[in-house]
Amino acid sequence: MNDPTRTNIENWLTYAEELGLAPFYRDRAIQEQSNPPAAIAIEAAAEIPGPMPKPKQSSALIAAAPIKPAVTFFPTAAGPTLFEAADRIQGDTLEIIRTDLGECTRCKLHKTRNKIVFGDGSEKADLVFVGEGPGHDEDIQGLPFVGRAGKLLTQMIEAMGLQRKDVYICNVVKCRPPENRMPERDEIAACSPFLIRQIDAIHPKVIVCLGATAAQMLLNTNRSISAFRGEWLEYRGTRLLATYHPAYLLRNPAAKSEVWKDLQKVMSVLGLKPKSAGAAASQR
Ligand code: SF4
């Protein structure tokens, strides 16, 4: 690294320190260093200037050392960027976020959507459900989870002793992907900042991810949902649990009992009792 570049970086770091942002720089650097494959990490380390103590290990010790996986798995929240971390926006509300979203054209999904599906429910909810994206019925009505899968989600919520108005329901992307395909990376990247703000504004006690897309986005992983479904994880200081999407349950009713067990964990944390034995039984 040449001197002007180094000086420039030092100035930025000093500036961040003065703003109180340095810890986020460091957290992010740690996370990024822990994630790349070993070969990339080694290459990056070779470029770090200045004196850097090299570990003193004999070849025998190196040979005996356990081989660590190249990618460190969470539980960690998606690493906040410098600005996400800095601006957990004080006083942000769902209304402000919706206004900021506007008639959004930030990604190509706007070309085929009918209505933006922003989210629905209580701004004071203890429980937020995050799905993947709107389907046909949602696109028509502008509301999340109102089709067949939505009816099943409503039943699940009621079985937990709640009503839809008690929780908040939203998706990773707010416009329907054509033919109900999965959202693409650029679409998720364009839309997810609004989801992050929604979660920050609501500040729930528990987030339930419905399906792999929501869980992978919030947890910053590409692991299969089956690797962590039903486990308590953490997203920016909030408990997070991933379970199967209701649409999956429509295709695989046998998985309902697994989801009900997951929801019972959520109920335990939130101090909820099933509304009725009949409602709960319908989930098993
Ligand atoms: Fe905007 Fe999100 Fe719709 Fe893309 S999916 S156009 S980012 S609202």
Write the pLDDT tens digit of every residue in 40-87.
332 333 333 333 333 333 333 333 333 333 333 344 444 444 444 445
Q: Indicate whether residue 116 lines ligand 1 (CB < 6 A).
A: yes
Report if residue 158 sits inside a domain: yes
Contact between 221 and 74 under an 8 Å Cβ cutoff? The reply is yes
| Per-residue exposure over 191-207, b if at least 16 CB sit within 10 Å of its own CB, e if not | bbbbbbbbbbbbebebb
Tally of domains within the chain: 1
Q: How far is the CA of 106 from the centre of ligand 1 (A)?
A: 6
- In this structure, the residue with its CA closest to atom 3 of ligand 1 is 175
- In this structure, the residue with its CA closest to atom 2 of ligand 1 is 191
Report if residue 54 sits inside a domain: no
> How far apart (Å, rounded) are the C-alpha atoms in residues 13 and 106?
31
- When pLDDT is averaged across residues 28-37 and rounded to a whole number, the result is 38
> How far apart (Å, rounded) are the C-alpha atoms in residues 76 and 158?
31
Report if residue 87 sits inside a domain: yes
CATH number at residue 95: 3.40.470.10
Q: Indicate whether residue 176 lines ligand 1 (CB < 6 A).
A: no
281's tokens:
């039984």
pLDDT score recorded for residue 126: 98
Report if residue 231 sits inside a domain: yes
Residue 241: give the domain boundaries.
Answer: 82-282
Report if residue 66 sits inside a domain: no
Report if residue 60 sits inside a domain: no
Report if residue 57 sits inside a domain: no
168-171: strand order across its sheet = 120-121, 168-171, 127-131, 206-210, 238-243, 232-235
Report if residue 189 sits inside a domain: yes
Q: Indicate whether residue 175 lines ligand 1 (CB < 6 A).
A: yes
- Tell me, rounded to whole angstroms, the distance of Cα 59 from its chain centroid: 42
pLDDT interval class at 276 (50, 70, 90): low
Contact between 258 and 230 under an 8 Å Cβ cutoff? The reply is yes
Q: How far is the CA of 188 from the centre of ligand 1 (A)?
A: 8
> How far apart (Å, rounded) are the C-alpha atoms in residues 216 and 173?
13
pLDDT digit string, tens, across residues 187-240: 999 999 999 999 999 999 999 999 999 999 999 999 999 999 999 999 999 999
pLDDT score recorded for residue 88: 77
More confident call, 152 vs 279: 152
Q: Indicate whether residue 256 lines ligand 1 (CB < 6 A).
A: no
